[in-house]
Structure 1
């Protein structure tokens, strides 16, 4: 795109990359867009979007929108994007008109503050000086993880480092890092509220009492930070950047009780979600519900992987997991074969509404579908994987089979994550398979069968996810394998 001569005043420099990456900058790309009632949007800045509205063959307009301070979207038509008898506005002119509208005083007064869009790509410091600091170690470590870790794992590390470690610890000489700094980090994690997405940074606050769930999450955050620091320190030690082992030997994870998954869908909720999805997203959601696969695994699936080696699909190696075969029910096999109809072996089975490979563009569409379906706001696409696993566990499928379907190396993760969902199956097995012990009480049970059935029905709830659940009173596990610092453990236990 060639920017207009007056663009430096109207178009912020921080939006230039987003403008160049617009997927419908060319007329041919606009022509290929399918008709739909809602516009196709592209983020120029946070809360500032440019879009194409093409509901039918007679209308195709450039559209801009802003997000207001009270979380409402306001749109403005910028002119025709295709020449359908009423002239045509070029992409460059549409961008100029959009930013001219964004700059109007009445628009700025009600709109949210704009910020650059895009993912964090590196830690937010540039270490200098001859003294090798924690910041130097984190920079060297993240340069390695960029190549060695999955993109998602590397990105999560960057977010944690920038939010928790850089402000208070990056300037410390790594040789001087010791247990007192670990204790300071634990205190900081306890007092620092989490930050999600583009939320503003929260100030630290004195926390006198935290709920069990909040304390558990902050313990897990603390352990994640210790793992990052330990790997960075070991990397520095192996590279002869430091001469002492103390910086990484003082980093010990603390024990924390595992938090089971409870956000998953019933079959009625699944149907509501599917009704709220776009056509392409609906297929992706169905595929996840039939297989329990991750979105990246489904996005990489090709026609040659379906129904070739067995009654199911082959999933290639993903993240650090090995390739696996996922078996399907009959209706799932019929669904996948219908998605492959008319395609070549090397074609992707699933593509977005714009014909692109599914990567990260599903998240916004999925959030909107979740909202329209009236589901919990915290439910994300990965929750479909939990829904798949929870349905199998609840139906009594052995955990070994569930683990193999999900690609886990053993049943520990499945047992910790979904084991609580098999309560009704456990109840049924105990009631029907217990060997008679006392003829007197067996006869009494037969005599009072109606009363016992009435009692059983009184315990049944509409939401089976809460059946026979007992609230945990602590975040410390019954059996601890981690051997953390006693000072840090006592600090968390005092909350």
Structure 2
């Protein structure tokens, strides 16, 4: 066993109690390029591992520190136990960066297949790995992780798929919560049932992709068991929620000033939250009236055309600033984080009386829906949103676009005079 490194500031519970709370961990170097950190929070601390290579730094959350509970080696760790987990991470990450698979330590399980698949996606720079890893750890690994891929059957996968569709919905839970919060699904609510089946289908897609990766890597003899399992039909029907112009105005007016800017940016560009937070002053071309999105979910850069209002917004936000400055920043000047948008958007939605609350995905839907209803071609909308082709765009927005069928029906079908109060105009 490797020698345990000592650090008088963090190697005991009493020493850590004297430290100030801060987001940046208190680091201790384990070896060249490898360190373990202690992050002090309001409700206790956590351990973090960091490994540097020539290109970037890699991090791994190790677990909670034994600040208020005795270490158990599973969810709560002492300084020495955290070092053992950190060394496992350093070894695993070094092998991944060198392009080597994990050494075989027994039968190849579903858990190993999922881990290898996500690691391969991470090396390719694929987007969405973080969310898929979270979903896999919550729904796939607990049920199927210990099963050998060679012994996995279609019935076992099908039973798991149905169980996920009927399971309670997982709710956002704080790091210090004792247990994961859930919400029951009303089986009488067809939309709630559809949503759960849609979630089950997305997880099935992740599982199949991981097993297919194992099959192509020669770690599974056949792909027949999972090929037999089909997703729920009509579970992924497009359900588009978009805001009216008045709702957009109410939402913007109820946002805090710094957050208001990024909400405005979403409405005039249709960009994802992560795309907006990475935009720099140099990405705005004042002469062309466009914004360059250099990192996108699809992995391809694109140029988003701005209308007059959008150009005015970006001109005001970039005036007098350096080309490498971020366009959208928090009130304190720091960059927006991965999930910093959720709480302020929910609070602004409540003040604007929007039910359900707006999300950045709804703002993106709003942008595309308005374009569709104004007659913009599906190809133009797809290009603006960064879709690879028009299939996804048509699935969500084609029904909103003016069409020959709709125009013909409305002009040809007579008014029967069967509706009462035809002179009454609804107030928005």
Q: How does the TM-score come out when normalised to structure 1?
A: 0.60
- The alpha-carbon deviation at position 386 of structure 1 amounts to 1.1
> What are the within-5 Å matches in structure 2 for residues 203-352 of structure 1?
209-308=187-286, 310-352=288-330
The answer to whether the 8 A contact 1:261-1:386 is kept is no
User: Which residue is equivalent to 1:184?
Assistant: 159
Equivalent pair of 1:237/1:243 in contact (CA under 8 Å): yes
- Match among 13, 20, 24 for residue 8 of structure 1: 13
Aligned match for 2:384, one of 405, 414, 418: 405
Alignment of 1:86-101 (within 5 A): none
**Contact 2:372/2:398, CA 8 A, preserved across alignment:** yes
Q: Tell me the residue number matched to 1:488.
A: none
SS in 2 for 1:21: strand
Contact map agreement 1:189 1:222 (CA 8 A) in 2: yes
Stretch moving more, 225-234 or 288-297: 225-234
Distance change (3 Å), C-alpha of 1:17 and 1:309? farther
* 8 Å contact kept, 2:165–2:199: no
Deviation at 1:377? 4.7
Aligned residue among 99, 108, 118 for 1:132: 108
Query: 1:150, CA displacement in angstroms?
Result: 4.1
Give the distance between the partners of 1:246 and 1:427, measured in 2 at CA: 45
Output the CA distance in 1 between the equivalents of 2:422 and 2:378: 27
Aligned partners of 2:275 and 2:296 also within 8 Å: yes
Instruction: Name which of 348, 361, 367 aligns with 1:369.
Output: 348
Residue 179 of structure 1: how far off its partner (Å): 1.1
Q: Secondary structure at 1:326's aligned position in 2?
A: strand
- Asked if structure 1 preserves the Cα contact closer than 8 Å seen for 2:109 and 2:147, the reply is yes
How far, CA to CA, are the matches of 1:397 and 1:454 in structure 2?
Answer: 35
Going from structure 1 to structure 2, the CA distance change for 1:46 and 1:143 (only over 3 Å counts) comes to farther
**Aligned counterpart, 1:44:** 41
Displacement of 1:389: 1.5
Matching residue of 2:123: 147
Counterpart secondary structure, 1:382: helix
Contact 1:192 1:202 (8 Å CA) reproduced: no
Quick one: distance in 1 between partners of 2:316 and 2:326?
13
Query: Relative contact order, CA 8 A, sep 6+: which one is greater?
Result: 1
Shift of 1:288: 1.0
**For residues 431 and 221 of structure 1, do their structure 2 counterparts lie closer, same or farther at Cα, with a shift above 3 Å needed?**
closer
Corresponding residue for residue 418 of structure 1: 397
Would you say 1:19 and 2:22 are equivalent positions?
yes
User: What is the CA RMSD across the aligned residues, in angstroms?
Assistant: 4.3
Query: Is 401-410 or 166-175 further displaced after alignment?
Result: 401-410
- Aligned residue pairs total 355
- Give the counterpart of 1:359 among 309, 334, 337: 337
Matched-pair contact (CA < 8 Å) for 1:321–1:407 = no
For structure 2, list consecutive stretches of 5 or more residues without a partner in the other structure: 1-6, 26-38, 46-66, 69-75, 78-101
Alpha-carbon spacing, 1:276–1:43, altered in 2? closer, same or farther (3 Å): farther
Deviation at 1:455, TM superposition (A): 6.7
Q: 1:314·1:324 contact (CA, 8 Å) conserved in 2?
A: yes
Provide closer, same or farther for how the CA distance between residues 127 and 179 of structure 1 changes in structure 2, counting only shifts above 3 A.
farther
Distance in 2 between residues matched to 1:136 and 1:263, nearest whole Å: 38
Aligned-residue offset at 1:162? 1.8
Aligned-residue offset at 1:189: 1.4
Gaps of at least 5 residues in structure 1 are 23-41, 49-101, 104-114, 117-125, 464-495
Q: Which has the larger radius of gyration?
A: 1
The correspondence for 2:137, drawn from 144, 162, 178, is: 162
Q: TM-score, normalised by structure 2?
A: 0.69
